[in-house]
Amino acid sequence: MVKQLGFLLNVNRCLGCGACAKACQNKNQLPPLLRWRQVRMVEKLSIDHIQKFYLSTACNHCGNPECLRVCPAGAYAKRRDGIVLHFSEKCTGCKSCVASCPFGAPQINPQTNKATKCQLCYERLDQGMSPSCVQACLTGALELKEVRDIPVNQLLRLTAPVPSLRLTRPSVFYKPPRETKV
Amino acid sequence: MKLHHNICPRNCYDTCSIVSTTSNGVLISVEGNPHHEYTSGKLCSKALDDVKKVYSPQRVRYPMRQRGRYSGFWERITWDEALGLISEKILSLKEQYGTSLPLALNKYSGNFGILHNAMEGLFTGIGATTRAVGSPCWSAGVEAQTLDFGTYFCSDPLDMAQAKLIWLWGVNPVWTAVHQMPIIFDAIDHGAKVVCFDTHFSATAARSHQFIQVRPGTDGLLALGFAKVLLEENLMDPNLSDYTAGCEEFIHYLETKISLSHCSEVTGVPMSTIRELALEYGQTNPACIWAGFGLQRYTNGGQTLRAIDALGAFAGHLGKQGGGVQYAQFETWRFSGEISGDKPSSDKINSMDRNLNINRFSDEALSCTDPPVKMLWISGRNPLSQDGNLQRWKKLINQLDLIVVSDLFHSKSSEAADIFLPVTTHYEHWDVNAGYWHYWVGVNEPAISPVGESRSDLQIAWDVSSQLNHLTPGSCTFPTSGNEKETLLRELGPQMLEILGLENPEDILKGPVRAKFSRTAWENRTFATPTGRYEFFSTQAANAQLPPLPIFVPPLSPSINTPLRLLTPHHHSTINSQAYALDTRKTDFILYLAPELAQLYDLVAGDRAQIRNEFGQLNVIVHPEFGFSTDIVVIFQEQVDANFPLNRLLGTPSTDMGQITLGAPGFALNETFVNLRKL
Ligand code: SF4
Ligand code: SF4
Ligand code: SF4
């Protein structure tokens, strides 16, 4: 693999505003119930501190994509820049990828009965633009980076309550969240 | 594909510059304008729904007439019929009563574009009429700052990036002013500390270093407590005597009337925290306070803001880059006023107007008997969803001959209307808009032709005037036709051109312009007050029967029957009743409360409960959450398809200030009390 693009989320700048998710929906003309990018809240309380932050997540364009490995129809491919693509022409709607992805990224489009997921706005990238979600982010919290350029010692991998994390090597990192003193 | 300049006209701090794209006359996308220094190419998620909103199937496309109010039986009529019905009514009322005072206009901030003042212009052209005056929003704060500084003027929001300490007080920019957040984050990256003061742990509190929970309505006392610490520690600005008035009196008040233990007891903030924060505020330079609209929506709201202003002045943070007490500004709104009919040169027909407090409109309209109010035009507003005193509104509706609502969608207010006039969105008409927080002014150009038969407020005003003059020549002095673009350019009179540094009005057509004010408010510490100084002691206040000093006046207290304070702050998905989230409509109001309070009422998450008071009751779903104090319950203003609107619980308590500056006090919305019971 020549490159690996990935998302970097500075959770201390993320407002949970959902502009990224809405821009994704608009750009990709997704039906109302389908969201390739989602924002979820994480909260941890201690006696005198609250840690409350948002994670804006989409497909992680894993280094070692499980979706690609399990898809019997060969509907997945990984580009030389690391983008994991799904080709709906080849997809039979068998849902293997949906079941195998530890992050719930591929979802069945109720209108086509086929899997769909974030394609990292590759047409935009190919024209030198940033992905719609990154473009829409008001605070610069969400960025797209070449993951090998990120100084990994200051970053956390996107966590998920699953053991297969190390297996797939998701290309998503976030800055450690700050706490609020109360 | 064509690009067009637009401006978000909603009542929001950000007033974003938009670039819209059309293809074959169809709006296909909207994005932020990268050449706008404040909004820098980004839009909030509300505006990202604009394309869907413009073409929404729910949008009303034709003039409609309702057969029986509240019947929902709307039939399409032509513009000619609508204009005919309206004009005939206007003329017959004038004839019957010998005056146009039975005609009332209730308009506010549904679209803040200057050309929307055509509605005021139309009414002025008809003669002396009944008007809603004042503001449901910021009156108390505006007046407090006017007493202290001489006018309300804030630093350029980018100035906040220079601060080393930022206090976000009663403001929730993460939800209501998103474009300020990158500026605050940049300040944090440069080492600034951010403290958030609020009644509950807001989304902004979650992005701050420290959260201070203040008991509702006691912020003024907290500010005075901080000032007391500055006094004790001798941390006040040594140069106060050079540029302030009444400092001695203020010090005397702090010495004799403010005790930290009492302050701590009332505000709920521990004494040690008060001391720590005050020292930090006194010793950090520059330190900035952003006082939000939330903390002045109390019966003591103006006094609260005056106390916060006084704290800023006392510490010497006024007029300093990255410092000050920021609230809002109106200096970039010096349009010629020609369209609204209040051009200084015009012979003031509207000085005969009957002005009613917008927040007590129904009550005051009902008490008008000579002559009574008989026709009501609601424009850019949805009072039946936002105003208090709904029972009085019902009564008023019953006495009216004709109710006209102009809007984009049906609303709680249009349910009571006889005629609905469909209006254009800001993608379909010319306009000019200014911010009340940042200093940018710009033109909104039509990107598409009006959807359906919708018309702009200006076009509607021309059409009504034309019809009136057709029926009775000379009955309305408002123009009967014109050119929208030229009308807007005329609003950029000599004063605005100077403020914007433009030679010709046409120069604004190229793109939004920043007014030429310095980045820092009150930079030279010359104030616009009668004394030219910052006034701790205000004679103007005394003359208006208000306390001359920023003393603490307690807010209202709950009663035994209604022991909980209901707060209804803005939600990130809406601005008041303006609805945006087209696909996420809710069917229930969610009541947020402290887990301990829920327990006390034997409630768990998801339970159905009822809140009630003397005005009405509302069913809610209970949602206990950390970060709420036990004396409040909170319902965020979201779009909810419930049978009853949230405002059915509201009375119309007034704020202490607003009369001098805006002609009416504000709405002390946060002085609403309720009882809670499980269903
Ligand atoms: S996250 Fe899931 S869908 Fe995305 S690349 Fe990895 S395995 Fe595939
Ligand atoms: S990269 Fe494109 S497709 Fe993927 S989440 Fe962002 S906007 Fe959606
Ligand atoms: S747009 Fe940016 S700030 Fe808003 S939720 Fe997405 S990542 Fe967070």
pLDDT in tens, B256-279: 999 999 999 999 999 999 999 999
Q: With H, G, I as helix, E, B as strand and everything else as coil, classify residue B41.
A: coil
Tell me the two tokens of residue B67: 């057969």
Query: How many Cβ atoms sit within 10 Å of the Cβ of residue B264?
Result: 19
> B177 with B13: CB under 8 angstroms?
yes
Residues 6 or more apart whose CB falls under 8 angstroms from that of B492 comprise B335, B336, B432, B500, B502, B505, B508
Q: How confident is the model at residue B7 (pLDDT cuts 50, 70, 90)?
A: very high
Ligand 1 centroid to Cα of residue B462, in Å, is: 59
Q: What is the pLDDT of residue B607?
A: 97
Q: Where are the beta strands (DSSP E) in chain A?
A: 5-9, 38-45, 49-57, 76-78, 84-86, 107-109, 114-116, 142-146, 156-157, 172-174, 180-181
Residues 6 or more apart whose CB falls under 8 angstroms from that of B518 comprise none
Q: Whose CA is nearest to atom 3 of ligand 2?
A: A118
Going from the C-alpha of B259 to that of each of B70, B222, B225, the distances in angstroms are 55, 11, 7
> A29 with A63: CB under 8 angstroms?
no
Residues 128-157 of A with CB under 8 A from B: 135-140
Tell which residue, A41, A80, A47, A78, has the closest CA to residue A61: A78
User: A15–B203: do the CB atoms touch at under 8 Å?
Assistant: yes
- Look at A60-64, A150-154, B515-519, B634-638 and tell me which has the smallest mean pLDDT: A150-154
User: A137–B42: do the CB atoms touch at under 8 Å?
Assistant: yes
Residue in the block written with tokens 């957040």: B181
Q: Is the pLDDT of residue B344 over 50?
A: no
Q: What is the pLDDT of residue A147?
A: 83
Phi, psi of B160 (to 5 degrees): -60, -25
Q: How many CB pairs below 8 Å do chains A and B form together?
A: 77
Q: Is the pLDDT of residue A164 over 60?
A: no
Strand-by-strand arrangement of the B325-326 sheet: A38-45, A49-57, A180-181, B210-213, B193-198, B165-169, B287-291, B325-326
Name the H helices within B57-160: 79-97, 118-126, 139-149
Of all ligands present, the nearest one to the C-alpha of A11 is 3
Q: What is the pLDDT of residue A152?
A: 66
- What is the position in ligand 2's atom list of the atom closest to the CA of A119? 3
**Average pLDDT in the A54-69 region?**
92
Any idea how long chain A is?
A: 182
DSSP 8-state assignment for residue A162:
-
Q: Say what percent of chain B tops pLDDT 90.
A: 95
Question: Mean pLDDT of all residues in chain B?
Answer: 95
Q: What is the pLDDT of residue B639?
A: 86
Q: Which of A41-45, A66-70, B256-260 has the highest mean pLDDT?
A: B256-260
Integer Cα distance of A172 and A8 in angstroms: 6
A4-37 burial: b if 16+ Cβ within 10 Å, else e: bbbbbbbbbbbbbbbbbbbbbbbbbebeeeebbb
Q: How confident is the model at residue B642 (pLDDT cuts 50, 70, 90)?
A: confident
> B650 with B387: CB under 8 angstroms?
yes
Q: Say what percent of chain B tops pLDDT 70.
A: 98
- Look at B473-487, B581-595, B632-646 and tell me which has the smallest mean pLDDT: B581-595
Q: With H, G, I as helix, E, B as strand and everything else as coil, classify residue B257.
A: helix
B317 reaches A (C-beta below 8 A): no
- Reported as a single tens digit per residue, the pLDDT across B432-448 is 999 999 999 999 999 99
Question: Got the DSSP string for B289-354?
Answer: EEE-SGGGSSTTHHHHHHHHHHHHHHTT-TTSTT-SEE----GGG----TTTT--TTS--GGGG-E
DSSP 8-state assignment for residue B372:
B
Q: Whose CA is nearest to atom 2 of ligand 3?
A: A137
Q: Is the pLDDT of residue B345 over 50?
A: no
Q: What is the pLDDT of residue B349?
A: 47
Name every protein residue with a CB atom under 6 angstroms from any ligand 1 atom.
A 59-62, 65-67, 84, 101, 103, 105-106, 117, 168, 170
Going from the C-alpha of B72 to that of each of B66, B391, B410, B411, B646, the distances in angstroms are 7, 20, 10, 11, 21
Integer Cα distance of B286 and B185 in angstroms: 16
Tell me the two tokens of residue B479: 């123009």
Q: How confident is the model at residue A172 (pLDDT cuts 50, 70, 90)?
A: confident
Q: Whose CA is nearest to atom 8 of ligand 3?
A: A14
